[in-house]
Amino acid sequence: ATYDEQWRPQVHFTPQRNWMNDPNGLVYLDGEYHLFFQHNPYGNVWGHMSWGHAVSKDLVHWEELPVAIPEAEDIAIFSGAAVYDRDNTSGLGTAAKPPLVAIFTGWNKSTNNQSQYLASSVDRGRTWTRYGKDPVLNIGSTESRDPKVFWHAESNQWIMVFAKAREHKVAIYGSKDLKTWTFLSDFGPLGSEGDVWEVPDLIQLPVDGNSSKKKWVMVVSVNGGSLYGGSGMQYFPGDFNGTTFTPDPLPAVTEPAGEVFADFEGADYGGWEKTGDAFGTGPAHGSLTGQSPVTGFKGSGLVNTFLNFDQGTGTLTSPEFTLNKPFITFLIGGGNHPGETAFNLIIDGKVVRSATGQDSEALRSKFFDVAEFKGKKARLQIVDSHTGGWGHILIDHIKFTEAVVNDMEFKTLWADFGKDFYAGVTYSNLPTDDKIWIGWLSNWQYAGQLPTYPWRNAQSFPRKLSLKTTPEGVRLFQEPIEALKNQRGARFSVQNLLVSKVNERLMSAAVRGKSLEVLLEVETASLQNVGLKLHQSSKEETVVSYSPLAERISLDRSKAGEGSFNIGFPEVHAAPLKDVGSTLKLHILLDTSSIEVFAEDGKVVFSDLTLSSPSSDGLELFSTGGDAVVKNLEVYELKSIWK
């Protein structure tokens, strides 16, 4: 492979060819980091699930090896873990040659049963032998998968966690030999339930770097109805005693404060003006699952149809109101033909903000950042432009609220506020005490539609995890591993630069590029927004923006480039970012087709794919509402890991 196709990541692992999803079996042994991955060796779509394999000496440069565990006659090889069985507890190696043991889900292709299976290797992961007397753990379910195993010294046993996917539970089992497993407890449901829970991990980390003060974290991937739709990751700090995981209390949920402009349910148009030719109250359409990240209300049970434009187009326009707060949030449930529904904010007869409708998977929240229009009179509008058949827009519940971000408490602790970080799991048997994980840099909502060839999907850059005490509680922090520094090439830097409110372009050749590392420290005083435009050109940009007023950071890929393949792609993703103080710190890892943003030493992280044109390679700093003082900006070109 030449690794030089359009959108081929230069500092992230991708298979030479074909489909990849979850990272599997992350284990270190004898100077090598193994990365196994869900792989279809025969095509660029999900299928023939097997464990692909790559090795690395530094977690940065990868050598792809032949498929390690191929799909078999009886089972497809789903996600799982690998451990180094140092004391040969499993008997699958010898005392002189302890084995690597892979513990994975076998998906029985005729019965759909999902159970846990073993394979072992005594030649540094090069060849694998199926145990043969498995499954070692079968609970008789078609939805029990993704084992993660670690040695728990305190209770002198192996611990396995796996997902009871539809029950939104993590099962915890114990074993002395990896072959016989005893049920210990179940965790969940809690936090974000989505459609399914998948790929759990249970890890222990020092709090604030203090190794005598450790805490456990349960990590759960959620598919269907995650923060911005599709798949995402949440975590629960807590305690594990060898049997039971006890989560700390979750953050409280508060409704956004501020005026509620409309809160429709059923066929109530809330006094809004109707124009157009078709309004109805169509049939109830099934119950929704998922939960809004903004308020606590649940989608399930909302069966009345609020908006149903039958066989025609229509517009609903709100009465005029004055904009007072920096955000308007709206929560939408239901909907189909989503691309033909628009939610607009109108000032002086012009659409100044617009969002397209959503898919029908779950309740979603969207928002408009309206800080710059403070004091202006505005209207909200819902527009349907679908002219085809019947029943094309069904929206169960919509609620517009004026809000400040401080009110937008997230009940769920999301590990990542972008849309493209999933199935993240930690390395086992690392030579240091570090906890490092890799996640799948994609989203089930559109992973199969990404226009890349001859491979599909990448893994995240490896991230070091830590726990830190914040005013809101103990939180997970993530930063790219140190070895990223070895990829640094040409450097551009400025100190104490004044960025005027008219965008100042940093256009020197030294700061162009598709694969860049950006370190920014910028003073935030008296600004409305400050940030960076990346992969920038006259027609495209990916915007990272922070609003000190709203204490909110966002990543806008709606104009990043190609995104027409799925309505869930060209979007803005946002997160609360509090207690920043006078200087905002951003660490950004930009690659050919992705952006990973680590804000405030990794307190808030965004991972988003972006598919920009080759010529969109500019970088621009901007501020609104005042001059920004850039204390320090360092940009490094990143050398390709494939050359």
Residues contributing to the site for ligand FRU (CB under 6 A): 21-22, 38, 49, 78-79, 105, 145-146, 198-199, 423
22, 369, 420, 617: which is the annotated catalytic residue? 22
Rounded CA-CA distance 503/538 in Å is 13
Taking the mean position of all CA atoms in its chain, how far away is CA 293?
14
The least CB distance from residue 46 to ligand FRU, in Å, is 6
Rounded CA-CA distance 541/51 in Å is 36
* CB of 135 or CB of 258, closer to ligand FRU: 135
* CB of 105 or CB of 318, closer to ligand FRU: 105
Contact 33, 14 (CB under 8 A): no
Rounded CA-CA distance 9/610 in Å is 11
* CB of 45 or CB of 260, closer to ligand FRU: 45
Rounded CA-CA distance 385/341 in Å is 7
* CB of 145 or CB of 603, closer to ligand FRU: 145
Taking the mean position of all CA atoms in its chain, how far away is CA 284?
32
The CB-side HSE value for 19 (13 A sphere, CA atoms) comes to 18
Task: Indicate the burial class of 189 (C-beta count within 10 angstroms; 0-12, 13-18, 19 or more).
Answer: middle
The least CB distance from residue 76 to ligand FRU, in Å, is 8
The least CB distance from residue 442 to ligand FRU, in Å, is 9
* CB of 223 or CB of 452, closer to ligand FRU: 223
* CB of 54 or CB of 196, closer to ligand FRU: 196
DSSP 445-499: TTGGG---SSEE--BPPPEEEEEEEETTEEEEEEEE-GGGGGGEEEEEEEEEEEE
* CB of 15 or CB of 280, closer to ligand FRU: 15
* CB of 27 or CB of 331, closer to ligand FRU: 27
The least CB distance from residue 422 to ligand FRU, in Å, is 6
The least CB distance from residue 355 to ligand FRU, in Å, is 27
The least CB distance from residue 135 to ligand FRU, in Å, is 14
* CB of 363 or CB of 423, closer to ligand FRU: 423
Rounded CA-CA distance 552/600 in Å is 12
The least CB distance from residue 38 to ligand FRU, in Å, is 4
* Residue 22 appears among annotated catalytic residues: yes
Residue 252: what residue type?
A
Rounded CA-CA distance 547/522 in Å is 12
Collapsed DSSP state (helix, strand, coil) of residue 155: helix
Torsion angles phi and psi, residue 462, rounded to 5: -60, 140
The least CB distance from residue 441 to ligand FRU, in Å, is 12
Contact 168, 291 (CB under 8 A): no
Selection from 25, 143, 42, 129 nearest residue 84 by Cα: 25
Task: Indicate the burial class of 271 (C-beta count within 10 angstroms; 0-12, 13-18, 19 or more).
Answer: exposed
The least CB distance from residue 223 to ligand FRU, in Å, is 7
Cis preceding-peptide flag for 454 (omega within 30 of 0) = yes
Give Cβ neighbours of residue 587 (< 8 Å, ≥ 6 apart).
479, 480, 517, 518, 519, 520, 597, 598, 599, 601, 602
The CB-side HSE value for 475 (13 A sphere, CA atoms) comes to 21
Strands 182-187 and 196-207: unpaired
Contact 36, 25 (CB under 8 A): yes
Torsion angles phi and psi, residue 33, rounded to 5: -95, 125
The position carrying tokens 């078709």 is 278
Catalytic residue set:
22
